[in-house]
Amino acid sequence: MLVGNAELLVVLVLVLLLFGGSRLPGLARSLGRARVEFRRGMKEED
């Protein structure tokens, strides 16, 4: 299931409204770290 441009825009606006512009960089950073840790854990499992 792919997300179209309109849906992506709606999600981004909702995130901006919920978290505010000042908290977005920290949120993105923590999501990136979680993704890296998840991939690292998947590699160790193999």
For residue 30, being part of any structural domain is answered with: yes
For residue 16, being part of any structural domain is answered with: no
Q: What is the pLDDT of residue 22?
A: 87
Tokens representing residue 36 in the block: 């890296």
Render pLDDT for 9-40 as a digit per residue (tens, 0 to 9).
998 899 889 888 888 888 889 989 999 999 99
For residue 2, being part of any structural domain is answered with: no
- pTM beyond 0.75, yes or no: no
For residue 12, being part of any structural domain is answered with: no
Q: What is the pLDDT of residue 1?
A: 61
Q: Which domain holds residue 39?
A: 22-46
Cβ-contact 28, 19 below 8 angstroms? no
Number of domains comprising the chain: 1
Q: What is the pLDDT of residue 46?
A: 67
Q: What is the pLDDT of residue 45?
A: 75
Cβ-contact 19, 27 below 8 angstroms? yes
